[in-house]
Copies of this chain bind each other. A is one copy, B any other.
């Protein structure tokens, strides 16, 4: 049985709000950030709907944003293994062609011994970073291969290589820590040897171009190439669009066939944009970043405030009158760890046909006892379809 075979064309609206990094955990001192935030509107949805805790890629696995979002869109993130370069390229609107190689990099600084000092070049601002990327674009080239640099945001850079015989099976140059030198390019498959050699030349040319600049090197990671994923249209019969604003999330959305609506400034504007385009789509994905950023920085109060700011906008989401609304995250980001984590993600589903469970407040421990149970994140999409009455009966 393919899920696609069960999908009908009943008019219905499915809305997914990703509160990036929402999940956390209680410890000896505190409840989780979500548990301690004052969230009357989310609590009301939890009381009126059903809750659970979601695992993006199985027990113990911490996911990045790419796999986390693929799972939310109904894709097995272990089956569709995407590199950060590919996701960034898509987010920037760079159309990767078959054979192109993409990677994400950080502008970084080195000490006199060539050890990494700062993997973000002092959290360099956009204007200075853009100037450095322009310098790389103008000054770095390779024989027989087209080299292109694009500024993403702050210290983040996208590299795209276009030419014959490039192979993505090369290791990262980013050592992911300071006090050690950048990693040397290595091939992880014999066919990628030439690509690894090209990256050595590229690294040398970049270092030369960066002499005297605010960054000494670009630490690339996540080399990847063009992928074709089956679209959400094909797999689920949906007409999907996103109002997300960050390149990464727009990138994943584009990869699964979503229309990319214009970039706006706030979650409130994302909701207004959904209202404007309500009749053009039946699946709309909104994304709020602030809780994740606060989680990464270990700022508990900021994460709580970010969650409360989302809560204040929940009535606007409800006013759209979606048939089903899902509010969850792509992964947990506990402030105790200042990073993504493997902890189960609190998840709520709300809508006319969802049904109420016993959960009356939106929090990790409450959700763990909810009707959705401990589910795989990728199972949320079928649950949303069903709750919107978009799935026919299987079997007679």
Contact call B368/A77, Cβ cutoff below 8 A: no
B residues within 8 A CB of A21?
Answer: none
Q: Which of A24-32, A284-292, A306-314 contacts B (4 or more CB under 8 A)?
A: A24-32
Main SS class of interface, A: loop
Contact call A64/B393, Cβ cutoff below 8 A: yes
Tell me, yes or no, whether A253 is within 8 Å of chain B by CB: no
Contact call B395/A355, Cβ cutoff below 8 A: no
Number of interface residues of A (CB under 8 A): 72
Q: Shortest distance in angstroms between A200's beta carbon and chain B's nearest beta carbon? A: 23
What is the bound-complex CA distance between A28 and B48, given in angstroms? 7
Contact call A25/B385, Cβ cutoff below 8 A: no
| A356-B386 contact given A368-B369, A394-B62, A395-B63, CB 8 Å threshold | no
Nearest B-chain residue to A389, judged by Cβ:
B337
Q: Contact residues of A with B, CB < 8 Å? A: 1, 6, 25-28, 32, 48, 53, 57-68, 77-78, 81-84, 87, 104, 221-222, 248, 334, 336-337, 339-344, 353-358, 364-365, 368-375, 379-387, 391-396
Contact call A57/B343, Cβ cutoff below 8 A: no
Contact call B59/A383, Cβ cutoff below 8 A: yes
Contact call B368/A371, Cβ cutoff below 8 A: yes
Contact call A396/B343, Cβ cutoff below 8 A: no
Nearest B-chain residue to A60, judged by Cβ:
B382
What is the bound-complex CA distance between A78 and B6, given in angstroms? 13
What is the bound-complex CA distance between A380 and B342, given in angstroms? 13
